[in-house]
Chain A
Amino acid sequence: MLQYIIKRILEMIPILFIVSILIFFFTHLIPGDPARLVAGKDATLEEVTIIRAELGLDKPIWEQYGSYMNHLFHGNLGTSLKTGLPVMDLFVDRFMPSIYLTLFSMVWALVIGLLIGTLSAVFKNKWPDYFGMVTAVSGISLPGFWLGLILIQIFSVQLGWFPTGGAEGWKSYVLPSITLGAGIMSMLARFTRSSLLETLKADFIRTGRAKGLKESVVIPKHALRNSLIPVVTIAGLQFGFLLGGSVVVETVFSFPGMGRLLIDSIAFRDYPVIQAELLLFSLEFILVNLLVDILYSFLNPKIRYVA
């Protein structure tokens, strides 16, 4: 297993290399000229040309890529065109809040989603099922910006329990996490329900009951574990997407996260920030995938990885 993990981590190097090429060239394909944006609306052509040379944007693109990679290998993500600050400094304040927000959203979505899904399957076509599925459909259907605003209105403005925005202390994470996790919780609940219903039809469930086991043993011990593979797949994908930051939720809650930074950078054609951020997301996504694959082998002993 350890050998397999090491192999997978080594495999990340060529993947990230290819990803870096794609990111670099596609970023430069975005229409618009950063030099003009830096120089301002009223700048003359000469001023723009000077600025372009300063930023190194006048060089051939492969040369620009070479110097970008050179900096990357030295741990230098570059300097933001817009703010003139090192990209690293921009990330420091935003990266951890984004990670925390993702983790909180994921954890509650998983716990509640699995719970609702399991209860819905066990009490199929009874009131816990109806209640659970109505909750799930609402969770998927409510748009994030709307749910976020409603939560702010009720819990921040009216009750004053939580701050309306920012990322100061655990309280400021509560409402954004609820907003961000609602859709994922609903999806997980639905997947858990349908997967568990399928498993409950299996012969080995009947075997368990024929042994004299209680339902409270048969369901969690025999049925649930056999139903988790599709749930883990979906949870992994969603986790990967969440790590990329959420523009909507970050905007609604004025949350200093990676999502808004990315959107702002794209608007300003801030190449170094866009490139660094996309590369980071790719890395996170690959790591989450590795985590999902490792989880698979714990859930299903037939899946055994060989290095």
Chain B
Amino acid sequence: MEKLLQIEKLETEFTKDKQALKILHGVNFHINKGEVLGLVGESGSGKSLTSLSIMKLFKGTSGEISGGRIQFNDQDLTNISESDMRKIRGKQIAMIFQEPMTSLNPVMKIGEQLLEPIRLHLGLKEKQAKAHAVSILKKVGIPRAEEIINEFPHQLSGGMRQRIMIAMAISCNPQLLIADEPTTALDVTIQAQILDLMKQLQQKENMSVLLITHDLGVVAEMCDRVVVMYAGRVVEEADVFELFESPKHPYTKGLIGSVPKLGQKKEKLDSIKGNVPDPSNLPKGCKFAPRCNNVMPICYQEEPPDLKLENGRSCSCWLYKEERGDICV
């Protein structure tokens, strides 16, 4: 399969009081063309920051990429200019966000907001651009699209607004759609509709999707492959079936174990003890060691290498060091 996006040793940091605080510590993964990749992890694991790094959306923050590469088609996004990056944003890589209620400008009509990327990237004339906007709205299942374009965001429900966000994102036929927790803020029935819509559009347009979520149910339903992140690192990467079938990393096992199962009677749900470590005070060695059920002495000493396992899987854990000796760094 052809790779669309390849991230290698990506490091992103913020600066506060002249002190650099590294949040992403060498993130590695890739997305193939036409594939849905799930990016999973707890809050604070660096999922969203990875997506913002791909888009280089750091304006107004002190964030910057301090190392690594982001290869998109034949360009390395880490060293292209801001004006070249603007041509990619919204055109080749589009993004939808978690909060549909606040992600649309409250004082601009829907049509006006939808027309912005269409005018900017497709260079259509006013009439054609409008027709294109209406057809995109119909594509994402918005009824009475011709009227909606003259309405304001507050006149629409959360689900409708997320459809508008999706319409805006796909309006210029992007190759990659980044969806940062697109259904977290929606109620369950609407969640299912939005996920269905995304899946359907992804298949129709053969678009690649990077789906960021902490909901393993969403992952199982939507994704082809999954990348699990912890404390700014990728700890496991696997095909979606294999990941649920036989999770390798103790963290992944914990995540999957904490999902309640149908027909199972339990007083208390399983959970991973402890909290995500503070990025300014990370433990030595494996960052998950203090919370791990399979912890060994070496885990506190040295950070585990990224181990390549069978079927293109990888896992960063000392447990598998014996199993596969060939270390890939």
Contact with B along A202-226 (1 / 0, CB 8 A): 1111111111111100000110011
A81 at the interface (CB under 8 A from B): no
Give the chain B neighbours of A200 by CB distance below 8 A.
60
- Given A203-B99, A207-B104, A300-B106, A212 and B154 contact (CB-CB distance below 8 Å): no
Main secondary structure of the interface of A (DSSP, over half): helix
A302 at the interface (CB under 8 A from B): yes
Q: Is the beta-carbon distance between B89 and A212 smaller than 8 angstroms?
A: yes
- Given A209-B89, A226-B107, A299-B107, A204 and B102 contact (CB-CB distance below 8 Å): yes
Q: What is the size category of the interface that chain B forms with chain A? A: 20 to 34
Give the chain B neighbours of A214 by CB distance below 8 A.
86
B90 at the interface (CB under 8 A from A): yes
Query: Which chain A residues numbered 7 to 59 have a C-beta less than 8 Å away from chain B?
Result: none
Query: Which chain A residues numbered 179 to 210 have a C-beta less than 8 Å away from chain B?
Result: 200-210
User: Shortest beta-carbon distance, B235 to chain A, in Å?
Assistant: 28
Query: Which chain B residues numbered 228 to 252 have a C-beta less than 8 Å away from chain A?
Result: none
Once bound together, how far apart are the Cα atoms of A212 and B105, in whole Å? 15
- Given A204-B104, A226-B106, A302-B106, A212 and B60 contact (CB-CB distance below 8 Å): no
Once bound together, how far apart are the Cα atoms of A208 and B55, in whole Å? 13
Q: Is the beta-carbon distance between B108 and A222 smaller than 8 angstroms?
A: yes
Q: Is the beta-carbon distance between B89 and A301 smaller than 8 angstroms?
A: no
Number of chain A residues close to chain B: CB under 8 A: 24
A298 nearest CB neighbor, chain B only: B107
Contact with A along B84-114 (1 / 0, CB 8 A): 0011111100110101001111111000000
B57 at the interface (CB under 8 A from A): yes
Which interface residue of A200, A207, A226, A302 has the most chain B CB atoms within 10 A? A207
Query: Which chain B residues numbered 166 to 222 have a C-beta less than 8 Å away from chain A?
Result: 168
- Give 13 A-B pairs besides A203-B97, A211-B168 with Cβ atoms closer than 8 angstroms: A206-B97, A207-B97, A207-B103, A210-B55, A210-B95, A211-B90, A211-B117, A211-B120, A212-B120, A213-B116, A213-B120, A299-B107, A300-B107
Q: Can you offer 5 A-B residue contacts whose CB atoms are under 8 A?
A: A210-B94, A211-B89, A212-B120, A222-B105, A226-B105
